[in-house]
């Protein structure tokens, strides 16, 4: 996500610094402390231990620094986005699991095939990511008689090396697994290596094929779908989150306009086939369509038009930058997301 954000900001004459905590809580705290000493105009954060960052968010707010959350919310004791956050850009992650669960339940019934699913976890106690993703997945599967989550992987810590061992252990203990849901791109390479090691890395239609349900839709993942290895992905990726973050940054920090506290992204399904819109009004892609879309964006982020004519922007009703104020006609939570989930 930092690449398009940095490209746009620097292309517009701004300054941008990217820091990676690498899932080290102490390192993340130190980075926030150091960042606040620099008095930046804004901070775009992707926290993984949100509770520890609340004092720094409050300090930033007191000092007039805008704080945006990307993909992972910082929530308060009431389980809502913390009031110190200028805006949260994401979907609370339950919807990512939900649409995947809906798809696999639909596919299994359509094909009259029993799906025995392995869910590859990041961190068991990750309340802002892993837990809602799992709850969404189970809600999406619902009471389907065709799908069974027969095994949750060992905790991977979002490490490819650990994911390799966790998936291999799961497949050894449960050889009847025929589908795998990798909840983050950060574990996908390791999961694929595990499938290769047990001769289950094969294209759709091959008896050895293991159904692969992925997330985040980086361009290389779309190639997996085009080549026949992947069965489901979502366009919940760095591109749309970065696009929305840069708009929110512009309107709040540069223009000084109030903006919605929650800015929700569209989790659009990507599969080999369209499903006829049965998962609500979010829309769907085929791998071919999405591949062409990504190619059209190119790699030069400064050439992208973050305020004009960009599909996700249009869906989210963002205004033209020349208008006088933010168009606040964005619902608090789109109707197609999971309702009433307990955190």
**How far apart (Å, rounded) are the C-alpha atoms in residues 340 and 343?**
9
* b/e burial code for range 165-185 (CB count within 10 A of at least 16 → b): ebbbebbeeeeebbbbbbbbb
* Average pLDDT, rounded, for the chain: 84
- The helix or strand, by DSSP H or E, that contains position 213, with its residue range, turns out to be strand 211-213
**How far apart (Å, rounded) are the C-alpha atoms in residues 3 and 1?**
6
pLDDT at res. 87 = 86
CA dist 154 to 13, 116, 163, 201, 235, Å?
45, 17, 8, 21, 26
Q: Which tens digit of pLDDT belongs to each residue from 58-108?
A: 999 999 999 998 877 776 666 567 788 898 888 777 888 999 999 999 999
Residues 253-278 have a mean pLDDT of 83
Among 4-18, 80-94, 173-187, 224-238, where is mean pLDDT lowest? Answer: 80-94
Q: Is domain 94-234 classified as CATH 3.40.50.2300?
A: yes
pLDDT band, very low/low/confident/very high, at 335 (cuts 50, 70, 90)? very low
Other Cβ atoms less than 10 A from the Cβ of 292: the count is: 12
Residues in the chain: 343
Question: What is the Cα Rg of the chain in Å?
Answer: 20
Cα 171 to the center of its chain, rounded Å: 26
CA dist 15 to 6, 11, 200, 254, Å?
8, 9, 46, 13
Domain boundaries, the chain: 94-234
Who has greater pLDDT, 318 or 218?
218
* Sheet of 115-120, strand order: 147-152, 115-120, 179-182, 211-213
The proportion of the chain whose per-residue pLDDT surpasses 90, expressed as a percent, equals 44
Among 21-30, 194-203, 246-255, 261-270, where is mean pLDDT lowest? Answer: 261-270
CA dist 40 to 29, 36, 90, Å?
16, 7, 23
**How far apart (Å, rounded) are the C-alpha atoms in residues 93 and 107?**
22
Closest C-alpha among 84, 81, 15 to residue 55: 84
- Is the pLDDT assigned to residue 156 strictly greater than 90? yes
Among 19-23, 137-141, 181-185, where is mean pLDDT lowest? Answer: 19-23
Who has greater pLDDT, 182 or 215?
182
pLDDT at res. 337 = 39
**Is there a contact between 318 and 307 (Cβ–Cβ < 8 Å)?**
yes
Q: Are strands 147-152 and 115-120 parallel, antiparallel or unpaired?
A: parallel
pLDDT band, very low/low/confident/very high, at 334 (cuts 50, 70, 90)? very low
């Amino acid at each position: 996500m930092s690449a398009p954000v940095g490209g746009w900001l620097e292309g517009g004459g701004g300054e941008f610094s990217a820091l990676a905590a690498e899932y080290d809580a102490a390192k993340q705290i130190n980075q926030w402390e150091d960042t606040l000493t620099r008095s930046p105009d804004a901070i775009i954060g992707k926290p993984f231990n949100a509770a520890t960052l609340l004092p720094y968010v409050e300090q930033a707010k007191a000092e007039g620094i805008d704080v945006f959350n990307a993909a992972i919310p910082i929530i308060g004791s009431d389980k809502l986005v913390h009031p110190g956050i200028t805006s949260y850009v994401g979907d609370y992650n339950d919807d990512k699991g939900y649409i995947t669960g809906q798809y696999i339940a639909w596919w299994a019934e359509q094909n009259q095939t029993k799906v025995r699913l392995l869910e590859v976890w990041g961190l068991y106690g990750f309340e802002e990511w892993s837990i809602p993703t799992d709850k969404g997945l189970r809600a999406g599967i619902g009471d389907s008689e065709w799908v069974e989550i027969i095994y949750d992987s060992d905790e991977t810590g979002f490490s490819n090396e650990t994911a390799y061992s966790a998936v291999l252990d799961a497949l050894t203990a449960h050889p009847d697994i025929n589908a795998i849901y990798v909840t983050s791109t950060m574990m996908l390479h390791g999961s694929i290596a595990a499938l290769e090691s047990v001769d289950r890395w094969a294209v759709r239609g091959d008896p050895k094929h293991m159904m692969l349900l992925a997330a985040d839709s980086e361009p290389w993942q779309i190639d997996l779908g085009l080549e026949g290895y992947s069965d489901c992905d979502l366009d919940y990726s760095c591109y749309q989150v970065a696009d929305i973050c840069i708009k929110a940054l512009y309107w709040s920090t540069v223009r000084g306009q109030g903006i919605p506290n929650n800015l929700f992204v569209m989790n659009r399904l990507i599969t080999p086939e369209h499903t006829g819109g049965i998962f609500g009004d979010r829309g769907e892609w085929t791998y071919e369509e999405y591949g062409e879309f990504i190619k059209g964006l190119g790699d030069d982020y400064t050439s992208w038009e973050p305020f004009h004519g960009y599909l996700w922007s249009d869906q989210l009703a963002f205004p033209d930058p020349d208008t006088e104020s933010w168009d606040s006609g964005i619902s608090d939570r789109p109707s197609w997301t999971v309702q009433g989930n307990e955190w």
